């Protein structure tokens, strides 16, 4: 019963920890570590505040969970793309540009602080850099973070006056002169010899800088056909932490209402890993993190609970089998006999035997056979004449001689006999 109690306590603690962690992550922004600008996140990087701002102004907010080439909203709608985590591919970009040409409005906000990201299409280069490349733009660090004073390089019909923005990075936008410039720009960022993507920018009728500071362009408008694509250099401008600072919210409203109230504001969450249906080659590996954590917790609970169980009553380990001294000597002699070196075998065994007798008596191994036998007889009950005769015969054997098998076995058995006699007397010495 005690084992059951310990197992249940451990399992309960693990489940309690998992539930509390899940609740805190889902309810408290400060416990959400995911640094993306998804419209469902309430942490400092998310854009849920912007989504709620649209809803409070009477706009319909929708979530787009499919690739851009499957976006089929009316032309008067607005599609918001904030800091995509993966992709995009060329097919999606071309479809997006075609939808904009037919009167659509796309609002893009990038986060280009990082260079590398999980991207199955473009050799792990961050999706924001790739998206800008397709739009004929690059992002370069030219200014600083914090509040910046902005101007409008191009006259605009925007209703709200924007004079200052709170930005999260020093990235500014610049036009590409050629597709090769995009690769050269990435080469400076990665600073190695890896193969980099070469993109073909979509056709843009005109690039119009809307807002800029002394460091560069913060908001660029791309006119494509009868539609527009607005690009922000820093997605943090629209993030939860900064949307209420400076004139960031006014800028958001200016961009959303630039052509009147849109029929709906669609937030792209497909490229944040929230697909409407599973997608294999483009799925963000981070989507499997939480199932893996749950599986690990369950395995840990099973392991901890099982460590308190015995599958039977405790029993001692079986003793290791012990070979007799005679078996060791006979096996040793058998090896030499197989190598047709019976004389060498007997000589080797005899020397070790004499060394043991010398250690036992305190005499030299080269002492006379009679003296050595009589000294041994003083510590053990043995036949002095037999031991002396055996030592004499062993010393007379030529190591290079080939002894008959019967003679070899007789000598080995005699040595084993005296070894056993010494062991039975519990005398000091080492077994062969």
Q: What are the structural domains of the chain?
A: 32-279 (3.40.50), 325-424 (no CATH)
Give the closest residue to 125 by CA, choosing from 195, 210, 24.
195
> Which two tokens mark 382?
């043995």
Q: What are phi and psi of 275, to 5 degrees?
A: -80, 150
Q: What are phi and psi of 77, to 5 degrees?
A: -85, 170
Q: Is the pLDDT of residue 26 over 60?
A: no
Distance of CA 308 to the CA centre of its chain: 31
Q: What does pTM read for this prediction?
A: 0.57
pLDDT band at 119 (very low <50, low <70, confident <90, very high): very low
pLDDT band at 298 (very low <50, low <70, confident <90, very high): confident
Highest mean pLDDT pick, 224-233, 290-299, 376-385: 224-233
pLDDT at residue 121, rounded to an integer: 43
- Over residues 416-428, the mean pLDDT reads 66
Give the closest residue to 46 by CA, choosing from 116, 128, 111, 139.
111
Give the closest residue to 324 by CA, choosing from 426, 428, 410, 423.
423
Q: Is the pLDDT of residue 340 over 70?
A: no
- Over residues 149-178, the mean pLDDT reads 79
Task: Indicate the pairing of strand 216-224 with strand 78-82.
Answer: unpaired
Q: Is the pLDDT of residue 157 over 80?
A: no
Q: What contacts 395, CB < 8 A, 6 or more positions away? A: 350, 369
Taking only the tens place, the pLDDT of each residue in 83-96 is: 888 777 888 888 98
Per the CB < 8 A criterion, the answer to whether 117 and 127 are in contact is yes
pLDDT band at 290 (very low <50, low <70, confident <90, very high): low
Q: How crowded is residue 215: how many other Cβ atoms within 10 Å of its Cβ?
A: 17
pLDDT band at 150 (very low <50, low <70, confident <90, very high): confident
Kindly report each contact of residues 412-418 with a partner whose C-beta sits within 8 Å and lies 24 or more positions away, as own/partner. 412/329, 412/330, 412/333, 412/346, 412/349, 413/326, 413/330, 414/386, 414/390, 415/329, 415/349, 415/350, 415/353, 415/390, 416/325, 416/326, 416/329, 416/330, 418/353, 418/382, 418/387, 418/390
- Over residues 369-398, the mean pLDDT reads 82
> Which two tokens mark 287?
């989507």
pLDDT at residue 302, rounded to an integer: 73
Give dist(CA 151, CA 407) in Å, integer: 113
Q: Is the pLDDT of residue 329 over 50?
A: yes
């Amino acid at each position: 019963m005690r084992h059951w109690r310990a197992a249940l306590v451990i399992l309960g603690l693990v489940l309690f920890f998992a539930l509390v962690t899940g609740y805190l992550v889902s309810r408290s922004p400060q416990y959400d570590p995911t640094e993306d600008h998804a419209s469902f996140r309430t942490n400092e990087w998310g854009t849920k505040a912007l989504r709620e701002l649209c809803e409070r102004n009477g706009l319909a907010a929708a979530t787009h969970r499919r690739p851009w080439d499957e976006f089929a909203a009316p032309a008067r709608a607005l599609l918001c793309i904030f800091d995509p985590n993966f992709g995009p591919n060329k097919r999606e970009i071309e479809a997006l540009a075609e939808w904009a040409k037919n009167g659509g409005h796309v609002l893009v906000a990038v986060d280009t602080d990082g260079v590398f990201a999980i991207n199955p299409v473009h050799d792990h280069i961050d999706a924001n850099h790739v998206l800008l490349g397709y739009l004929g733009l690059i992002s370069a660090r030219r200014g600083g973070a914090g509040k910046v004073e902005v101007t409008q390089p191009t006259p605009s019909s925007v209703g709200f006056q924007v004079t200052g923005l709170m930005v999260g990075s020093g990235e500014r936008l610049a036009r590409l002169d050629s597709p090769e410039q995009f690769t050269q720009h990435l080469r400076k960022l990665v600073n190695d010899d890896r193969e980099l993507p070469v993109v073909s920018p979509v056709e843009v009728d005109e690039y119009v800088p809307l807002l800029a500071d002394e460091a560069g362009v913060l908001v660029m408008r791309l006119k494509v056909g009868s539609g527009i694509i607005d690009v922000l250099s820093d997605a943090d401008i629209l993030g939860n932490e900064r949307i209420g600072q400076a004139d960031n919210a006014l800028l958001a409203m200016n961009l959303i209402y630039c052509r009147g109230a849109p029929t709906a504001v669609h937030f792209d969450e497909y490229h944040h890993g929230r697909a409407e249906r599973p997608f294999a080659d483009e799925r963000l590996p981070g989507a499997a993190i939480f199932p893996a954590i749950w599986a690990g917790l369950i395995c840990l609970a099973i392991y901890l609970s099982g460590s308190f169980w015995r599958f039977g009553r405790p029993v001692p380990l079986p003793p290791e089998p012990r070979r007799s001294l005679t078996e060791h000597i006979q096996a040793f002699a058998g090896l030499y006999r197989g190598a047709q070196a019976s004389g060498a075998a007997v000589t080797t065994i005899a020397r070790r035997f004499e060394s043991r007798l010398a250690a036992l008596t305190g005499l030299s191994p080269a002492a006379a056979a009679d003296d050595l036998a009589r000294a041994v007889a003083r510590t053990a009950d043995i036949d002095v004449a037999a031991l002396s005769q055996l030592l004499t015969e062993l010393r007379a054997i030529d190591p290079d001689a080939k002894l008959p098998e019967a003679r070899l076995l007789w000598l080995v058995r005699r040595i084993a006999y005296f070894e056993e006699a010494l062991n039975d007397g519990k005398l000091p010495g080492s077994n062969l």
